[in-house]
Amino acid sequence: MKPKYFCLIILMFISFQGYSAEKDYTICSVAGFYESNNNRFLTDLAERIAAKNNLFGDENCSIALKEGKAAGARFSKPGAERRTTDYDIIRSAQHFSNLIYDSILSRVKF
């Protein structure tokens, strides 16, 4: 399978996993979280899903993106005081990461 089609399948899989239902801005905060942690792969995927669901340009998505970046910055600093919302963002980011990597690994045959 060509990598281009594989990425498309992953994006479609994630889109149908609950991120595309209503206007859920969780994916925007996840994109911000991974951007602040310099994880280009997961940032790009989260941003593509947000764009596919027409969330970019929305004020709520911009706010969620900023919250995600702030949570990611606090997460990467040892001893930084975390807010209650940080834990929700971290959980969502971990869930997103697990979905992506499980999807990729399900296609890998050794």
pLDDT of residue 21: 47
Q: Answer yes or no: is 15 within a domain.
A: no
Of 31, 10, 25, 30, which Cα lies nearest the Cα of 103? 10
Q: What is the tally of structural domains in the chain? A: 1
Question: Which helix (H) or strand (E) covers residue 4, if one does?
Answer: helix 3-14
Segments forming the whole domain that contains residue 71: 23-106
pLDDT of residue 37: 94
18 vs 25 pLDDT, higher one: 25
* CB neighbours of residue 74 within 10 Å: 16
CA distances from 6 to 41, 73, 89, 103 (A): 14, 31, 27, 10
Helix (H, G, I), strand (E, B) or coil at 59: helix
**Single-letter residue type at 31:** A
Q: Answer yes or no: is 13 within a domain.
A: no
pLDDT band at 10 (very low <50, low <70, confident <90, very high): low
Q: Answer yes or no: is 87 within a domain.
A: yes
> Token pair for residue 15?
């889109």
pLDDT at 24 over 80: yes
